[in-house]
Amino acid sequence: MIIAPSLLAANYGRLASEVARHKASGAEWLHLDIMDGHFVPNLSFGPGIVKTLRPLTRTFFDVHLMCSKPEVLLPLFADAGADQITVHVELGERVAHLLWKIRSLGLKVGLAVNPPTQLATVRPYLPQIDTLLIMTVNPGFGGQEFIEECLPKIQQAHTWRTSGPHRFHIEVDGGINERTARECARAGADVFVAGTALFGKPNLKAAVARLRRAVEQAIPPSESDTPAGRKPSRITSRQ
Ligand SMILES: O=C(CO)[C@@H](O)[C@H](O)COP(=O)(O)O
Confidence band, pLDDT 50/70/90 cuts, at residue 97 = very high
Question: What is d(CA 54, CA 123) in angstroms, rounded to the nearest whole number?
Answer: 33
Task: Give residue 134's domain range.
Answer: 2-225
Domain count, the chain: 1
Could you give the residue ranges of the DSSP H alpha helices within 7-145?
A: 15-23, 47-53, 70-80, 95-104
Confidence band, pLDDT 50/70/90 cuts, at residue 229 = very low
Q: What is the 194 CA–ligand 1 centroid distance (Å)?
A: 6
Q: What pLDDT score does 220 carry?
A: 66
**Strands of 108-113's sheet, edge to edge?**
2-5, 191-194, 169-173, 131-135, 108-113, 84-88, 60-66, 29-35
Pick from 121, 124, 125, 113: nearest CA to 150: 113
Question: What is d(CA 128, CA 96) in angstroms, rounded to the nearest whole number?
Answer: 8
Q: With a cut of 50, say whether residue 227 has pLDDT above it.
A: no
Of residues 237 and 188, more confidently modeled: 188
Q: With a cut of 80, say whether residue 188 has pLDDT above it.
A: yes
Confidence band, pLDDT 50/70/90 cuts, at residue 233 = low
Q: What is the pLDDT of residues 135-145, one digit of tens each?
A: 999 999 999 99
Instruction: Please list the helix, strand and coil fractions of the chain in percent, rounded to the nearest 5, in that order.
Output: 45, 20, 35
Pick from 108, 124, 117, 112: nearest CA to 172: 112
Q: How many C-beta atoms surround the C-beta of residue 148 within 10 A?
A: 11
Q: What pLDDT score does 234 carry?
A: 56
Q: Is residue 232 part of a domain?
A: no
Residues with CB under 6 A from ligand 1: 6, 8-9, 31, 33, 64, 137, 139-144, 173-176, 193-197
Q: What pLDDT score does 203 carry?
A: 98
Give the chain's mean pLDDT: 94
Q: How many C-beta atoms surround the C-beta of residue 65 within 10 A?
A: 26
Q: With a cut of 80, say whether residue 235 has pLDDT above it.
A: no
Q: Is residue 184 part of a domain?
A: yes
Per cent of the chain over pLDDT 70 is 92
SS3 (DSSP) at 105: coil
Closest residue CA from atom 1 of ligand 1: 139
In the residue annotation, 130 being an active-site residue is answered as: no
Question: What is d(CA 227, CA 75) in angstroms, rounded to the nearest whole number?
Answer: 34
Q: With a cut of 70, say whether residue 225 has pLDDT above it.
A: no
Q: Is residue 239 part of a domain?
A: no
Mean pLDDT to the nearest integer, 22-36: 98
Q: Is residue 230 part of a domain?
A: no
Q: With a cut of 90, say whether residue 65 has pLDDT above it.
A: yes
Q: What pLDDT score does 224 carry?
A: 53
Q: What is the pLDDT of residues 75-96, one digit of tens each?
A: 999 999 999 999 999 999 999 9
SS3 (DSSP) at 6: strand
Q: Is residue 170 part of a domain?
A: yes
Q: Is residue 132 part of a domain?
A: yes
Confidence band, pLDDT 50/70/90 cuts, at residue 43 = very high
Q: What is the 162 CA–ligand 1 centroid distance (Å)?
A: 27
Of residues 207 and 235, more confidently modeled: 207
Q: Which of 6, 7, 11 to mutate to test the pocket of ligand 1 (most atoms within 8 A of CB)?
A: 6
Question: What is d(CA 9, CA 227) in angstroms, rounded to the nearest whole number?
Answer: 34
Q: What is the 179 CA–ligand 1 centroid distance (Å)?
A: 16
Q: Is residue 236 part of a domain?
A: no
Contact 5, 30 (CB under 8 A): yes
Domain of residue 120, CATH code: 3.20.20.70
Q: What is the pLDDT of residues 142-161, one digit of tens each?
A: 999 999 999 999 999 999 99
Q: Is residue 123 part of a domain?
A: yes
Confidence band, pLDDT 50/70/90 cuts, at residue 237 = confident
Beta strands in 114-188 (DSSP E): 131-135, 169-173
